[in-house]
Amino acid sequence: MSKEDLILIHAPSVYDFRQESIFYGPVSDLVPSTPVFEMYPFGFTTMANQLHKAGYRVRIVNLASMMLNVRHLDVERFLSRLDSSVFGIDLHWLPHAHGSLAIAEILRRLHPQSKILFGGFSSSYYHEELIRYPQVDLVLRGDSTEMPLVYLMDALDKGNDLSKIPNLTWKDDKGVHVNDLTYIPDSLDHLDIDYGWIVRSVIRHRDLEGAKPFKDWDRYPLTAAFTVRGCSNGCVVCGGSCGAMRRVLGRTRPAFRSPEKVAEDIDNIEHYINAPIFVVGDIRQHGRDYAERFFKECRRLDIDSHIVLELFTPAPTSYFQEANRTFSKYSIQFSPDSHDEKVRHALGRRFDNEGMESTITAALQNECQRFDMFFMIGLPEQTRESALGSAEYTHKLYRQNGNDERLVVYTSPLAPFLDPGSIAFENPEKFGYRLFAHTLEEHRARLSFPNWKDVLSYETVWMTRDEIAETSYDAADRLSDVRVEVGLMTKEERRVRAERSHEARNLLREVDAAMTLPERERKEQLEQLKRRGEELMESTICQKRELEWMRPASYAPSPGWL
């Protein structure tokens, strides 16, 4: 196997989830990945592209996806055959705290001469704690580490002093060093996003499985185009809010990719893959002119993919008229988080229901293919009654829009953790939260708890963790009832959903009971429950495949793609 300069490895949430008796619940029902959280961050792609451009040999290995799809995979044997000067591991999302550190520990044992590098949002927040783990040599902080990574690789290659590398936390025999956080670009136009490099890398390593962004990507190759890093909104539970970005990453304002570049990225994707493209970030966030330029450039390039647009706030009819004029197929994702204005305002979302309702109607009247809307459970000021009220409000939305099947409403718990860096995490009492984990190690330890409700790092003064779990199942059941009532779900489909929900509730209680047993009996009982838990691993309270905007999708390589 050829030697690489850097291998980027995405670890599962928990190592080794295949052996552990863990009952995940609905923690990943609303994302493409499983509860193993096997979707690697988009930054892997941009970092690999930048290093490839600088002449370095880079490989992406989605170990989490490989462990899901190749159940007999001998992880240590596989890792022992890799050869790289540096192994990079993402700790972007905190649910990877257990798996990422475990994989780093294995790599340290198997490759003692290689450097082990961490990066990502959670790595940035916990960098001073993270660097003290014996298996960690380097941590790159910030949301734009492409160029600092090139500088770091240059320094390691030449044996130069690491104290000049921006955003780097590192250690040597003299101790821990924290370099200044100075690389914070105010634009994303310097990034090269070459999907062709990914295709060529797959061929070079003969490894589609290890390069897949998530488990089912070959069946449903969803892709993304990023408009921004950072945010102008201050949602109190979001680790990507403006306050969190300033506090953790030193970013005082969002960095945008020009609308022309974003359209070009979409055009680039179309040359390789026929699949929906999710445009990350509300294109109105940088002003009306940005959105107009984006639509104009997409029309010039004759974009033909199914485009999924994200809304942070209600949008006027003219927005959907432009989207309809620009794309042959488009869908909308909108996360108001709660139908209850009191809860939404406490969350920092300052818009009313009237604006939200007019947005839905305007989108559907302008040929929107799908309008996905998401409600969350575990929010400030949210009682059980408020969370359950989302079902009746959804009924109202269907009545207002002629029971249009293109409107799809979901509900899910805020899980598993309250984002470190978010306003609520930094000021939990002010927003009615009680935290059960503060440090990286405390979060890491929680991830291997058998019952998903015990993994939750928080509860609120309005709902305990038990109540959040029970309400999550009840709210999903009520939404299913609404869909039956308006003719968008058959009674047979509802029966199947009800059976899964009932089984999940029973499993929750049986795991609780098992945890009260002596250690040996507890282990035996959890092992007996393990298979039932695996059958409920995906689509616990929602049907995950409902999230898919287009089926089937396919690869569409251009004639000169090699």
**Residue range 382-400, pLDDT digits in tens:** 999 999 999 999 999 999 9
**Cis bond leading into 218, ω under 30°?**
no
The rounded distance, in Å, linking the Cα atoms of 303 and 320 is: 16
Interstrand relation of 458-460 and 433-435 (parallel, antiparallel or unpaired): antiparallel
Instruction: Tell me if 309 sits within 8 A of 284, measured CB to CB.
Output: no
Comparing C-alpha atoms, which of 266, 362, 360, 379 is closest to residue 317? 362
What mean pLDDT, rounded, does the chain reach?
Answer: 89
Using DSSP, state whether 5 is helix, strand or coil: strand
Kindly indicate the confidence band of residue 555, based on its pLDDT and cuts at 50, 70 and 90: very low
**pLDDT of 87 higher than 80:** yes
Note the pLDDT of residue 70. Answer: 85
Q: What residues pair up with 9 in beta bridges, in sequence order?
A: 61, 89
The rounded distance, in Å, linking the Cα atoms of 6 and 184 is: 23
Kindly indicate the confidence band of residue 551, based on its pLDDT and cuts at 50, 70 and 90: very low
Instruction: Tell me if 457 sits within 8 A of 446, measured CB to CB.
Output: yes
Note the pLDDT of residue 217. Answer: 63
Note the pLDDT of residue 560. Answer: 29
Task: Dump pLDDT digits (tens) for 244-259.
Answer: 999 999 999 999 999 9
Least confident of 139-148, 184-193, 382-391: 184-193
Note the pLDDT of residue 21. Answer: 78
Kindly indicate the confidence band of residue 129, based on its pLDDT and cuts at 50, 70 and 90: very high
E strand spans, 417-510? 433-435, 458-460
Note the pLDDT of residue 394. Answer: 97
**pLDDT of 118 higher than 90:** yes
**pLDDT of 13 higher than 60:** yes
Kindly indicate the confidence band of residue 201, based on its pLDDT and cuts at 50, 70 and 90: low
**Using the 8-state DSSP alphabet, how is residue 545 labeled?**
G
Residues of the chain with CATH 3.40.50.2300: 4-178
24 alpha-carbon distance from chain centroid: 16
Q: What residues pair up with 60 in beta bridges, in sequence order?
A: 8
Kindly indicate the confidence band of residue 482, based on its pLDDT and cuts at 50, 70 and 90: very high
**pLDDT of 548 higher than 70:** no
Which percentage of the chain shows pLDDT scores above 90? 73
**pLDDT of 552 higher than 70:** no
The rounded distance, in Å, linking the Cα atoms of 538 and 75 is: 23
Kindly indicate the confidence band of residue 447, based on its pLDDT and cuts at 50, 70 and 90: very high
Q: What share of the chain is helix, strand, coil (3-state, %, to 5)?
A: 45, 15, 40
The rounded distance, in Å, linking the Cα atoms of 256 and 249 is: 16
Backbone φ and ψ of 50, nearest 5°: -65, -40
Task: Dump pLDDT digits (tens) for 490-504.
Answer: 999 999 989 888 888
| Helix or strand holding residue 477 (H, E) | helix 465-485
Burial class for 335, CB neighbours closer than 10 Å (0-12, 13-18, 19+): middle
Instruction: Tell me if 200 sits within 8 A of 272, measured CB to CB.
Output: no
Note the pLDDT of residue 205. Answer: 59
| Mean of pLDDT values over 333-359 | 96
Task: Dump pLDDT digits (tens) for 146-178.
Answer: 999 999 999 999 999 999 999 999 999 999 999
Note the pLDDT of residue 203. Answer: 54
Kindly indicate the confidence band of residue 561, based on its pLDDT and cuts at 50, 70 and 90: very low
Fold of the 222-547 domain? TIM Barrel (3.20.20)
- Tokens 């609780």 correspond to 512
**pLDDT of 543 higher than 60:** no
Note the pLDDT of residue 196. Answer: 66
Task: Dump pLDDT digits (tens) for 23-76.
Answer: 877 765 555 567 888 888 888 989 999 999 999 999 999 999 999 888 889 999
Task: Dump pLDDT digits (tens) for 283-339.
Answer: 999 999 999 999 999 999 999 999 999 999 999 999 999 999 999 999 999 999 999
The rounded distance, in Å, linking the Cα atoms of 346 and 349 is: 7
Write down the CATH number for the domain with range 4-178. 3.40.50.2300
The rounded distance, in Å, linking the Cα atoms of 264 and 282 is: 17
